[in-house]
Structure 1
Amino acid sequence: MPVPSLRAIGSVQRGAPTFFTVDGVVISAFAGESVACALWAAGMRELRHSPRADLPRGMFCLMGSCQECLVWVGLRKLPSCQVPVSEGLAVETLPHRERPRG
């Protein structure tokens, strides 16, 4: 079942509509909004699982302090709440980038 849009339409000034990828999946967003907010609006709540209890982790503080929303952007592991969306941005979740291959 599709997740209904959580975007406020018409009442907020936004950047240009754009697209970026997460684990190879195309996500629509607005330029300049954080990757975390774009993922939340797209219905993606889990970004990784905790190392000890294997519990789902996602957005928590949304200001870069907690490190719960870490993602890979290029060669850097960054909090997704601190990464602005831009056209063609490629993001990988930790499980996607760090899974064993072979």
Structure 2
Amino acid sequence: MISHLGLYKPASHLTADTFEENKNRSWRTSDIDCFASNLAFVLFDCADGEHVLTLHQEHAIVMPMCQSELCPLRVLTQHFNQSIHNCDYSDMCSLRGEL
């Protein structure tokens, strides 16, 4: 889910030849999700429309497609429109090939 939301996405791929320059990368599983993770979405019904506050490990975070921690719901639904309306659960949950 964290990957699908685009959180902590690195600027470049981590490879053997870029390891030194990526030592301070944002995608570090020991920081992001060491044993368990919690992700929360809080919906606010404001005068200028609905907004969503995203919390990861109980800290407010800015979603990559948003300008601030409090993101308009329409921005999120536009960004995730494809995955919301065209998700094929049977394909996603099926086994491919033999084990």
Shorter-chain TM-score: which interval?
under 0.3
The structure whose Rg is larger is 2
Q: Per chain length, whose mean CA-contact separation is higher, i.e. which structure has more relative contact order (CA < 8 Å, sep 6+)? A: 1
TM-score (norm 1): 0.25
TM-score (norm 2): 0.26
In proportion to residue count, which structure has more strand?
1
In proportion to residue count, which structure has more helix?
2
